[in-house]
Chain A
Amino acid sequence: MIETLGGGSPTSILTLPAPRRDHIRGSIGAPIKMLEYGDFECPFCGHAYPIVKMIEQELGDNLCYAFRHFPLTNMHPRAEHAAEAAEAAGAQGMFWEMHDLLFENQNALEEEDLARYAAMLGLNARRLIAEVLAGAYAMRIREDFKGGIRGGVNGTPTFFINGIRYDGADDELLAALTRAAA
């Protein structure tokens, strides 16, 4: 059964990676679990992106990292389509590749850019764009968003370390994760 983040869910599922629904890098059994709620057009998420990459390298098998969508669509008009594109790429087996491309190209998130990234990854770009325009994954993204609100997300990015919201600076994230492992 696919886990959902619907009403009545225990808080833990809102703040910890959920293996049967989330996009996860690393092993779910890793001692340090980090869940990010992010927005592909948010400059603060863009700032955190290379830090997260570095942390993944640093912590290796000790880290389980999951990403959920929290598009702030009033502030970031391209964030919803970018999230849709990541999900649509995920449906073709390349969520993380698209996730990385989007964060590396935050200033180019128009429809033609999304199609270009799909082609770069060797995906069926026509299918991807059709799904983005149809909002094929809108429900899933909404569920991430609503789960985030209930879990205590207070802006983007919000990180949860082993289920606890991290309120510190991005640059101190690695130290906080290392402490969580101890």
Chain B
Amino acid sequence: MNKDEAHNEMNPAGRRTVLSRGEAAPDINLRCTPDQWLSLKELRGQPVILAFYPADWSPVCGDQMALYNEILSEFQQFNAALIGISVDGTWCHAAFAKDRKLHFPLLADFEPKGAVARLYGVYRDDDGVSERALFVIDPEGIISWSYVSPMGVNPGAAGIISALEELQQRKAA
């Protein structure tokens, strides 16, 4: 087992239970650009990787979103869609995505602030940002894996790939 998978399902503050395997993923309908919206429902039929992160503009080479951008082709081999989500607004996301040349959508959980993060149990009230949290959602919209990383630690993608492999095996069985 990868060490990423061994994490518990409570967030570090222990205040709210993080949604976990077997639960239906609450629908999301947020702006992905200043004039476009994206909903989770639109992506039914394929696995979805939902990556909550605290804020745009963390340091370059250790940046989680930039790392995922580099391994998009790996995710695509599983026909999986990757979505980043933070409380930053769409203009901030747009500038960040342009600077880092990101090729996947960033959703703005901006108004009401953090509402979606709260639904998934990964909002940090004290900090006003979401946890660094990952959800892999199956093609039917059920959460098949979730993980909350310590704030300062980029979780990488090993856990995501394992979860996608499991979904693929389930489909093949």
Residues of B within 8 A of A150 (CB): 158, 161-162
How many residues from A make CB contacts under 8 Å with B? 22
Q: Could you tell me the distance between the alpha carbons of A107 and B161 in the complex, rounded to whole angstroms?
A: 34
Q: Could you tell me the distance between the alpha carbons of A72 and B153 in the complex, rounded to whole angstroms?
A: 19
Does B71 belong to the interface (CB within 8 Å)? yes
Contact of A155 among B61, B100, B103 (CB under 8 A): B61
A155 touches B154 (CB 8 A): yes
Task: Looking at the assembled complex, report how far the CB atom of B3 sits from the nearest CB atom of chain A, in whole angstroms.
Answer: 7
Q: Is the interface of A mostly helix, strand, loop or mixed?
A: loop
Task: Looking at the assembled complex, report how far the CB atom of B95 sits from the nearest CB atom of chain A, in whole angstroms.
Answer: 16
Q: Could you tell me the distance between the alpha carbons of A156 and B66 in the complex, rounded to whole angstroms?
A: 11
Residues of A within 8 A of B64 (CB): 154
Residues of A within 8 A of B100 (CB): 74-75
Using known A-B contacts A152-B4, A154-B64, determine if residue A167 contacts B69 with beta carbons closer than 8 Å: no
Q: Could you tell me the distance between the alpha carbons of A175 and B62 in the complex, rounded to whole angstroms?
A: 22
Near A by CB (< 8 A), chain B positions 56-74 give: 60-64, 66-67, 69-71, 74
B61 touches A149 (CB 8 A): no
Which residue of chain A has the shortest Cβ distance to B165 in the bound complex? A7
Task: Looking at the assembled complex, report how far the CB atom of B54 sits from the nearest CB atom of chain A, in whole angstroms.
Answer: 15
Residues of A within 8 A of B2 (CB): 11, 152
Q: Could you tell me the distance between the alpha carbons of A7 and B164 in the complex, rounded to whole angstroms?
A: 13
Residues of B within 8 A of A39 (CB): 61
Residues of A at the B interface (CB closer than 8 Å) are 7, 11, 39, 42-45, 72-75, 146, 149-156, 165, 167
Chosen A-B contacts, 14 in total, with CB atoms closer than 8 Å, are A44-B62, A75-B70, A75-B100, A149-B74, A149-B157, A149-B158, A152-B3, A154-B153, A154-B155, A154-B156, A155-B62, A155-B63, A155-B67, A155-B154
- Taking A150-B161, A154-B156 as known contacts, 13 extra A-B pairs with beta carbons closer than 8 A to each other, sorted by chain A number, are A39-B61, A72-B66, A74-B66, A74-B101, A74-B103, A75-B70, A149-B156, A149-B157, A149-B161, A152-B158, A154-B154, A154-B157, A165-B3
